[in-house]
Structure 1
Amino acid sequence: MNNKPLLHHALTTTLLLVLSFAELRAAEEAAKNDWQIDNATLTVVPSFQQLADGHWRERTPRNGHTFLEVRGTLNVAGDGSFGPHRLATAGLLAGAGAAPIAAKLLAVGANSGICRYLRAPIGAGNETTAKLGDDREMAILRENSDDGPLLLRMHARSVELCMVFELPEAPPPSLRWSFAQRTMPLSVSAAATSNAATQTTTAASNSGLVASAAAAAASFSVPPPWPRAISAPLLWSALALAALALLGGITLQRRWRRRRLAIAARSDGHSESSSALDIPRVSAKHQPKHFASVEPEGGAGQLQFHSAMAALRLGDWEQANALFGEAIAAGLTPTFEAGAWSLRGETMLNDHDLVGATNCYLRALSCPGVTAEAALPAASQLAAIYRQLRLRRDAQKMEALRALINPFADDIGPQHLALIARLAKELKHKRRTRILARLVP
């Protein structure tokens, strides 16, 4: 009697039973940690408190814009593990439609007397964590890398979740809250249907919110990183290696500096060519704190500006670059000039001029009439450029500026990242070739 068919049948049956049991366990685990948001409400707020550099800072809307605060009681079954869920799925829907309205998510937090909001993490592998009390925790983190999407993770059986959205106009009368492929109805307060003038009448109560923020800080605090670091078993050996590496780095840096000074003293014919390979750096004038609103008129160069925009949409980078230059030379209003420099940087980047694009982006940020619309793409592109060139401090400054404008804005696409990486590699190769040309007589 041949036992092979029986053995094959037994193995198949066993495998199916194991898979069925695994699927059942997965379904049970998912059911244990199921969640829902109840009593969701929406209110127009004049400002909100957000964590920045270890302090709670007040943020107010730009001229003509509205802050909408949505909050609801998040109940999580099982052990209270929630997420991580992508914050890009959060939005506001008008009426019964499925299309989101033009509302940008600015911050996420929890209610501890008042809604307090976390800052998005900056840098690779970082996360912003807050203790909510009663063993509850909330964290905003990035997925995989420093330019990955933002995620929300919590450990709490019940917490009042808060989100702030920014609208360029007054909100519609009927809204729904969408998050993590679920939609919740919103109870809109009377304040949410008023205009921007009504918001200014509530600004007097803002000082009371600031005063109560200090009292609520005890139940909503960010844990210090040092207690966790000191408990690491390899901390002291890592510190010793870091000290040795620091001493060696200082010695090599001094030798390299003396060598560069000697080369510069022997060579005076390369100044013009080297300037085309020197990447500009970030200074205080490239880190604006306030942003202007776009003006209705563009000035004398408005016609050239619109022609350059048309060439940019068609992918004619050379023509768009020339027309943006003509528009700036003819004269533009401050906000249009900032936009022209930012868009000109985009054309130069697509035309494979990394240094020229960096100069244009920095010029846009230093314009007195820079708008958030011009500063956001400039800061995003500059952060990626400086990261590829290993200029960490400049990259962190641009990432901080991007987080100030909109911490939940979409990151630049993979094609642009690949282009910037290739151009940065070519620029490094040209620099090495220049150094070798100076060394070889």
Structure 2
Amino acid sequence: MRKVHFIAIGGSAMHNLAIALHEKGYQVTGSDDAIFEPSATRLKQRGLLPEENGWFPEKITEDLEAVILGMHAHADNPEMMRAQELGLKIYSYPEYLYEQSKDKTRVVIAGSHGKTTITSMILHVLHYHGKEVDYMVGAQLEGFDVMVKLTEENDFMVMEGDEYLSSTLDRRPKILLYQPNIALISGIAWDHVNVFPTFENYVHQFELFVDSITDGGALIYNSEDENVVKVVGSSEKALKKFAYQTPEFRIEDGISFLETEDGPTPLEVFGKHNLNNLEGARLICNQLGVMDEDFYEAISSFKGASKRLELINRTADFVAYKDFAHAPSKVISTTNAVKEQFENKKLIACLELHTYSSLNPEFLSEYKGALDKADEKIIYYNPEALAIKRMEYISPTDIQDAFGDENIQVFTSSNELKAYLDLMDKSGKVFLMMSSANFGGIDLKELFQ
């Protein structure tokens, strides 16, 4: 039996890969210094949850075929150091995914925004029509038990391609390790400033990604994004290139209808950015043998990826959504989409600044005008997050100046934010709660019941 060990098995991506290998018949072990939900329960259900937290070099034995190293593990990790002593092969997460898919046709969805949604759309369509593929996606999907699936028999591997670093030993962006046969770039907007200090450096990673596509492969790209167009246009790689743009659609009674050759198709999702994502997914599905008619039939029932414009509650008086948006481009597109969909309601947009980039004073100015379409704008951040990240203090005035709006309300206490929203008259309003975290533990379902 093939034996593999995970260092930092509790990560969102790592525990899904561990489960996928377990279900493929591998003997899987792992360690971590802290494992949170839902990872803990999902690992426990399959007998993969470590008996205790911590790092145990004695788990690293010579009979391991592979050691898979998570980004969460530091350079002085004792298990990693033991694996190096024994001369074992240490893989990063993306490196091992390539190892598992190198004999398949690899499809990689990349971009600063939209990649999770596009990957989810593709998988939804394939699942709807009973087409089996291996996959890796960054969100829990309706109808799918796990976020990673690996088999011996499937011909295709569909992967969401993240541009963040692979591991403490491998500082390459994940997208550069997959060598796709078919690739998509949805958009390029500066992100991960702690790793890519300049916009030019960040864009260069996508130039390298295009170069990594196999010769004669296919590249689908968003022609409405000028940075993407420049990257694709500057490449001399021998590729089949397919441009896409936002398709024709209309909004009627709060529902978006996609205009197709077979007539209008009602959608569960909305917003120009999601319609743009949908068009990219359609072209990828074409490459996988799904015709347009079948694509439209399936996509009409797609409700969205987890945490992407996810409905919290809809009543006769108000509507409330939560969204994973945190980068400036995502905040703009999500805010604009909700305002356009509910133009007769007052939009209350609440954004939590939580990531390294969003809390960086030098990067804050990238948010200028991001909330302009909202009728009332609220920013929340936890000063403790700054302390943990050892970053400079940010004042409410700094935030107002960066966003270009002195009327923005800034909260640094989750209790005060909750109390403010609790007391607000919610009638005739649509609430948009945007965060990659959880607003200091606020129960949004309880708040908007």
Alignment TM class, shorter chain as reference: under 0.3
TM-score (norm 2): 0.25
Q: So what's the TM-score if we normalise by structure 1?
A: 0.25
Is the radius of gyration larger for structure 1 or structure 2? 1
Query: More helix by proportion, 1 or 2?
Result: 1
